[in-house]
Amino acid sequence: MKKQAIRTDKDERIDSPQRKFAIPTFIILLIGISASLAWIQFHQNLPMPNAVAAVEPPTFKQPETLNGLLALSPAELEHCDIARMNLLCAEALPGAENLNVAECLATLDQWAQHIKAETDQNYHHFKEDPAYYSNSEAFYKMLMMSVVLYEDYGVRYNPKLITSPEATAADDHFFVDSRDVLIHGLVGPQHLGTCSSMPILYIALGRRLDYPLKLVKAKGHLFIRWDSPTEKFDLDATGKGLNMENDAFYRKWPFPLTEADIQAEDYLKSLSAIEELSVFLSIRGECQTDNGQLGDALASFSLAYKLVPTWRGNQVMFAQARKRLARPVILVQQEPPINLSIPADPNPLQQAPRNLFQTP
């Protein structure tokens, strides 16, 4: 009744002088607005003087060679497939003589499709018992990936290289075969790797499925992080199955971390693409070192240092590589020049294992 009374009241005021005056004014205003809109629409279709046509940015082209990868800018690296970066860093290494990057990438695409199919098909298990998966759909997805890789593709940590943190040695030639430390060994016939390659495999597959996965460093170890605005947890996939961890765990394992360590190495931090590449180049340098390719190793360590000069490990590995050579070696892509004031003596890290990414 109240609304009806209000409408009646408005109807009764229609014949007032003010209302009669408002009607023609409104009509005039409406005509003016219509004319203005027509004028704007007409002139929008005319070419603007000195206007530059909007050009869509060119489609990013994934690099085909290591040199092409190294030529990318930091912004371009963010669009580069982490698997491709890792595979290209295996170029010309011992153990990568028959490397076919395109075939490896195609295999990863097929694996990702199979993982998605299995994840979707078994999703009812999560709905029936979410507590079993820590009430996390994200963890369910990662656990399914782990199961598929382990059961369907036989992905394993190379048993010959499994050792405890306290048993690591500087002369164990852990990096001598690139298939053990870069992902072509996992995608290839053997399906074997280590903690320097297995997290990258998971991340490469996860990113193909639009999972927000990041690579993270601990001392002597690499691990995975699910890093979304709503959920963040750490994952370790180097054993049988998948373990959900947190940063507190990696502060103590495989080697204890101090705040100074964390600041000097960006430990426990989700890495950017340029930082991922620096890690891969340092692994490349370690492989070259174990195979006596000291000049090539120096080039790799210099590039890793150039990408992230603040990491203490990069400084020390580069300094060690220089020290191993009896004569100077021309460094590739050395612009701007390497800062020669970094310590030439590796003593600052003598308490840490030389092999930075080998603990299962």
As a whole number of Å, the end-to-end CA separation of the chain is 78
Q: What is the pLDDT of residue 162?
A: 85
Q: Which two tokens stand for residue 209?
A: 């499925």
- Rounded to whole angstroms, the Cα distance separating 84 from 161 reads 25
Q: What is the pLDDT of residue 266?
A: 97
Contact 57, 65 (CB under 8 A): no
Question: Could you report the average pLDDT of every consecutive run of 10 residues in the chain (360 residues)?
Answer: 31 33 37 44 40 48 96 95 98 96 98 98 97 96 96 95 68 88 96 96 98 97 96 90 92 95 97 98 97 96 97 96 72 45 38 41
Bridging pattern class, strands 213-218 and 221-227 = antiparallel
Element (H, E) at 322: helix 312-324
> What is the value of pTM for the model shown?
0.76
Residue extents of the structural domains in the chain: 66-349
- Rounded to whole angstroms, the Cα distance separating 133 from 307 reads 38
- Rounded to whole angstroms, the Cα distance separating 164 from 184 reads 25
Q: What is the pLDDT of residue 165?
A: 65
Please enumerate in sequence order all residues whose Cβ is within 8 A of that of 8, keeping only pairs 6 or more positions apart, or say none: none
Length of the chain: 360
